[in-house]
Structure 1
Amino acid sequence: MVRISSKLLLVTLLCFGSVQSAVAKLNVFACEPEYKALMNELAPNAKVYSATTAMQDPHMIQARPSLIAKLRRADLLVCAGAELEVGWLPMLQMKAANSAVRNANTGLFFGTDHIETLDKLDKVDRSMGDVHAQGNPHIQFDPYRLLQVADALHQRLIKLDPEHQTEYQQNFANFKQRWTQAIKGWEKKAAPLKGKQVIAYHSTFRYLFNWLRIKQVGDLEPKPGLPPSSSHLASLLSLSNKEHVSAIVITSYQDSKGGQWLSKKTDIPFLQLPATVGADNTQDLFQLYDTVIVKLNGAIQ
């Protein structure tokens, strides 16, 4: 029989415990790819899962068993908020029965809770279509607001995992430095886009247009959430003849038929922009912004 001394056993257990602690990771459930990408910047060692892809409309997702299982194991739930996920997230939270991701002070994080949103509404009713009283939730294309979200998110990570406070602080500082520098380059490249007019699908790029001073003069949707109708497209055709429209813009997950029809009728460039990380082979937030500005410049100029 091999005997192990108590001292050796203690050392073995301590070593095993330290390894376990080192490999322990936060489980993060991100509602959209842009929040998964942001988490990768702030907590690269975390295990992050995105509920949606760049080819899915984040308004309309099914509470599938696989999503329920992922959320049940999550330590942190990170989403856009402002009712973007109202059609599926509450059901997912209920079925997952994970109290950790229901508390907005700990495991539940909505990006829009930490910035001033655009287009807030005092009253909302069904006649207005799919609008959000708390403001436009598609904040991923405002680099300044996104930096505010990153700041708040890194502080939440510290609250959840104080043992790694220094790492989170360093990761955020590094991201902030690179992001701030990148903004200068993006704004310089996008300067010629200022004042240009576009027709777009939904208000997905509301923050992008606001940041770059591009004016959306028409919407392919007759009302938010409704597909383009023949009569509405006819009205946009009339609008295009009156206004100097530089591009017709949609996202990677929106139906392109209406926009392509209008483009052919008007000879206005038709442009499909990535709505989030993953589309157009983008791997992170930096590549997403690079791609969007290059494509806008190519189409509009």
Structure 2
Amino acid sequence: MKRMLNTLLLTGSCLFATGIEAKLNVFACEPEWGALAKELAGDKAEIDVATTALQNIHQIEPKPSLIAKLRRADLLLCTGAELESGWLPQLTRQSGNANVVSGNGNFMAASFITTLDKPAQIDRAAGDVHPQGNPHFHLDPYRMSIIAEALAARLEVLDAANAAVYRKNLADFNTRWSSAIKTWEAKAKPLAGRKIIVHHKSWAYLNKWLGLVQVATLEPMPGVPPTSSYLVSVVSAAEKEKPMAIILAGYQDPKAANWLSKRTGLPIVILPFSVGGDPMSKDLFSMYDSTINKLLAAAK
């Protein structure tokens, strides 16, 4: 026992002498938030991401591996706006980590911005509606700027010893992000006013930012698969509106899009939707680059 105690004391002394310190444990629900945390925290945090861009975020299984990761988390970083309501409550309950249920350990990005498409009344017969508004605001770089400011402030609260690092990383991110927005907007000017058909109402923020006009959806209601008769009406809309493409995210079933494409000749454009959604989208910057490049290719 004495030998073991001496070993532990020696190990602790060595860690202190070499400057090794405990890192902040961040559990991010979606890849975009893991990527943003990486930009702001750098090597001061260990970041676990619960999902990938190729998963339907509404249908996630609370696996034991996720429970274990959340159990040790200092910060739960998610979209909010009830996007994760189908699985996150069970995950937090089974993790037993009270620190991330509320307070400074709980960060829901939707709390810091104004959402689009907030329904005037809630009617579940209208499909998978979100009472707090459309939760896919990570596709708006301006809202991402606001969330970055709030997240950096939260990191400072949770890890005051490294507050200066978080402030520096935020300033660096803001500089690069502001410059990138100017580049993206200049490059994307040809997209303004162009019409699109989408699979799901995932793109409201991207459409508003770039001036894209959504003329139809492949789902008659959010989360409701299309019927044959409904798809016939989408064909009519396509013939009338002359959209440039059918837009999908990588996780969405392409069956209806393929059917429509064969009957209208419209190209299908699969956008990354989040970090890791295609081989080019390795971080937030390249995700936006890929999105705009693919849309411009369709526009030509």
Q: Give the TM-score range, shorter chain.
A: over 0.9
C-alpha separation between the residues in 2 aligned to 1:13 and 1:202?
53
Contact 1:81/1:110 (8 A) holds in 2? yes
> How far is 1:213 from its partner?
0.7
Q: What is the letter of the counterpart of residue 285 of structure 1?
A: L
User: Which one of 162, 180, 188 corresponds to residue 160 of structure 2?
Assistant: 162
Per-residue deviation, residues 218-256 of structure 1 (Å, max 9, x unmatched): 111111011222111111001111112111101000000
C-alpha separation between the residues in 1 aligned to 2:139 and 2:105?
25
User: Which one of 208, 215, 218 corresponds to residue 217 of structure 1?
Assistant: 215
Per-residue deviation, residues 49-71 of structure 1 (Å, max 9, x unmatched): 11101110111101111111110
- 1:116-135 matches, cutoff 5 A: 116-135=114-133
Match of residue 84 from structure 1 = 83
Match of residue 283 from structure 2 = 284
- 1:128-147 matches, cutoff 5 A: 128-147=126-145
User: Which one of 246, 251, 254 corresponds to residue 253 of structure 1?
Assistant: 251
Secondary structure of residue in 2 paired with 1:249 = strand
> How far is 1:17 from its partner?
2.9
Per-residue deviation, residues 84-119 of structure 1 (Å, max 9, x unmatched): 00000011111111011011x300101111001111
Q: Cα–Cα, structure 1 residues 272 and 61, in superposed 2: closer, same or farther, change >3 Å?
A: same
Structure 2 unaligned regions, length at least 5:
1-8
> How far is 1:191 from its partner?
0.2
Match of residue 69 from structure 2 = 70
Q: What is the letter of the counterpart of residue 144 of structure 1?
A: Y
The normalised TM-score by structure 2 is 0.93
C-alpha separation between the residues in 2 aligned to 1:127 and 1:31?
27
Match of residue 60 from structure 2 = 61
C-alpha separation between the residues in 2 aligned to 1:94 and 1:197?
44
User: Which one of 26, 32, 35 corresponds to residue 34 of structure 1?
Assistant: 32
- 1:44-55 matches, cutoff 5 A: 44-45=42-43, 46-55=45-54
Percent identity between the aligned chains? 50
User: Which one of 175, 179, 182 corresponds to residue 181 of structure 1?
Assistant: 179
Contact 2:218/2:257 (8 A) holds in 1? yes
Contact 2:25/2:46 (8 A) holds in 1? yes
C-alpha separation between the residues in 2 aligned to 1:14 and 1:67?
33
Q: Cα–Cα, structure 1 residues 203 and 65, in superposed 2: closer, same or farther, change >3 Å?
A: same
Match of residue 273 from structure 1 = 271
- Whether 1:100 and 2:125 are equivalent positions in the alignment is no
Contact 1:269/1:300 (8 A) holds in 2? no
Structure 1 unaligned regions, length at least 5:
1-9
Contact 2:200/2:223 (8 A) holds in 1? yes
Runs of at least 4 residues off by over 4 Å: 10-15
**Equivalenced residues, count:** 290
